[in-house]
Amino acid sequence: MNHYNESKKARRIAAVVYLLIMAIVMGGTYLSEQKKAAAKAAQNSAAR
């Protein structure tokens, strides 16, 4: 049972790390898209 508990702990740690990395990637993508949209809006308003 000891090996099972150790592997269970390792899997949980790996899952938490994976979720943190995915949150950073998705947050960065979201911020990048927001910045692109703001820049495009500013460019369109400046062109008029």
Distance CA 38, CA 45 (A): 11
Q: What is the pTM of this model?
A: 0.72
Q: What is the pLDDT of residue 5?
A: 87
Distance CA 44, CA 48 (A): 7
The one-character DSSP state at 48 is -
pLDDT in tens, 1-48: 688 888 999 999 999 999 999 999 999 999 999 999 999 998 888 776
Distance CA 3, CA 23 (A): 30
pLDDT in tens, 21-30: 999 999 999 9
Q: What is the pLDDT of residue 48?
A: 65
